[in-house]
Amino acid sequence: MKFGVVVFPGTWSDRDCGWVIDQVLGQELTYLWHKDPDLKGCDCVILPGGFAYGDYLRTGAIARFAPVMEKIGEFADRGGLVWGICNGFQVLCEAGLLPGALIRNASLEFRCEWTHLSVERTDIAFTSQCEEREVLRVPIAHGEGSYFADPATLSRLEQRGQVVFRYCDENGRIVPGANPNGSLHNIAGIVNARGNVLGMMPHPERCSEEELGGTDGRKLFRSVAESALKVLVS
């Protein structure tokens, strides 16, 4: 399994994702520079956390124009695995690869803390190693991670089961108190209709080793690694 981690100017989770892929999971890793004209034969492309291009206009708003994004769009159209984490999720929404938008946290503050996620879908590559309704403990770190979509989009997402992760309490109950940022329907991560493009605000690469406080994130990386053979990139 070859993972490609995209580096925009201002990206900072690239090295953390790279560390988990390479050192923790022992998978093949390459970095994809935002100016790169091709994806170097990657099976899964990760858009990591950070403040791509400074996020000055709006999170992800400039990054979507990067040369590498065109290739990522084509790759996704062919069924390739694309995984946006934090800022990467914001970029995918801006690029139209995922519906909705991430807006300012309801608290109006940046939040870096542990959250619990209820896994709502396990039939996709990203969560193939998880159990239905399994509770994962994964940290967040964002100022603009409140998921928003218009009512029609939201109900379409729900009907098609595109919500992959919801913020929940430690017992898996999806309650307002467990929602750290005001996301609609406690949404922490969604997938496209085809199931190959995932966006999530929490950071699985920050909880893939015991010494960092938990290993639930590793499950997601392993899911992707082990599902490689099942996904056919045409």
Partner 1 sequence: MSIKNVDERRLREVALTPDEYRVILEQLKRAPNEVELGMLGVLWSEHCSYKSSKALLRRLPSTGPGVLQGPGENAGAVEIGEGWAAVFKIESHNHPSAIEPYQGAATGVGGIIRDVIAMGARPIALLDSLRFGPLPASSRHFEGVVAGIGGYGNCIGIPTVGGEIYFEDCYANNPLVNAMCVGLVRTDQLMRARAEGAGNSLLLVGADTGRDGIHGASFASLELDENSSERRPAVQVGNPFLEKCLLEACMDLSHTDAVVAIQDLGAAGLTSAVAECAGRVPGAGARVDVALVPRRERGMTPYDVMLSESQERMLVVVRRGREREVESIFEAWDLTSAVIGEVTDDGRLTVVDGDEEVARLPVDLLTEGAPARRLVGFAPEPPYGLEVDELPPLVDPGAALLRMLASPNLASKRGVFRRYDHMVGDSTVIPPGGDAAMLRVKGTRLGIAVTTDCNARYCHLDPHLGAQLAVAEAARNIIATGARPLAVTDCLNFANPDRPEVYWELEEAIAGLAYACRALELPVVSGNVSLYNDSNGESPIFPTPVVGMLGVIADYGKRLGAGLRVEGDFVLLIGSSHNDLGGSEYLKVEHGHVAGRPPSLDLTREKAVNRLMLLAAQSGHLHSAHDCADGGMLVALAECCLLGGMGVRCPALRPEPPLRLDAAFFGESPSRYIVSVPSRAMPEMQSLARRHNVELSLLGLAGGDVVEFEGQMKVSLDELRGAWESMVMG
203 catalytic residue (yes or no): yes
Query: Which residue in the list 42, 86, 93, 168 is annotated as catalytic?
Result: 86
Give burial (CB, 10 Å; 0-12/13-18/19+) of 78.
Answer: exposed
Q: Whole-number minimum distance, CB 55 to partner 1, in Å?
A: 8
74 catalytic residue (yes or no): no
Report how far residue 219's alpha carbon sits from residue 214's, in angstroms, rounded to the nearest whole number. Answer: 11
Footprint of partner 1 on this chain (CB under 8 A)? 9-10, 12-13, 15-16, 19-20, 23, 49-51, 53-56, 107, 109-113, 139, 141, 143, 203, 205-206, 209, 211-213
Query: Which residue in the list 34, 116, 142, 203 is annotated as catalytic?
Result: 203
Residue type, 225: A
Listed in sequence order, the residues at least 6 apart from 55 whose beta carbon sits closer than 8 Å to its beta carbon are: 10, 61, 87, 90
Report how far residue 51's alpha carbon sits from residue 36's, in angstroms, rounded to the nearest whole number. Answer: 19
Q: Whole-number minimum distance, CB 99 to partner 1, in Å?
A: 27
Q: Whole-number minimum distance, CB 155 to partner 1, in Å?
A: 29
In the bound state with partner 1, the residue whose beta carbon lies nearer, of 41 and 213, is: 213
158 catalytic residue (yes or no): no
Report how far residue 164's alpha carbon sits from residue 118's, in angstroms, rounded to the nearest whole number. Answer: 8
In the bound state with partner 1, the residue whose beta carbon lies nearer, of 102 and 124, is: 102
In the bound state with partner 1, the residue whose beta carbon lies nearer, of 14 and 120, is: 14
Location of structure tokens 């992959």 = 164
Contact 160, 121 (CB under 8 A): no
In the bound state with partner 1, the residue whose beta carbon lies nearer, of 19 and 148, is: 19
In the bound state with partner 1, the residue whose beta carbon lies nearer, of 13 and 127, is: 13
Q: Whole-number minimum distance, CB 26 to partner 1, in Å?
A: 15
Location of structure tokens 């056919």 = 232
Contact 156, 116 (CB under 8 A): no
- Give CA separation, 204 vs 39, 77, 199, in Å: 23, 25, 12
Query: Which residue in the list 94, 120, 205, 207 is annotated as catalytic?
Result: 205
Q: Whole-number minimum distance, CB 209 to partner 1, in Å?
A: 8
Q: Among all residues, which ones are annotated catalytic?
A: 86, 203, 205
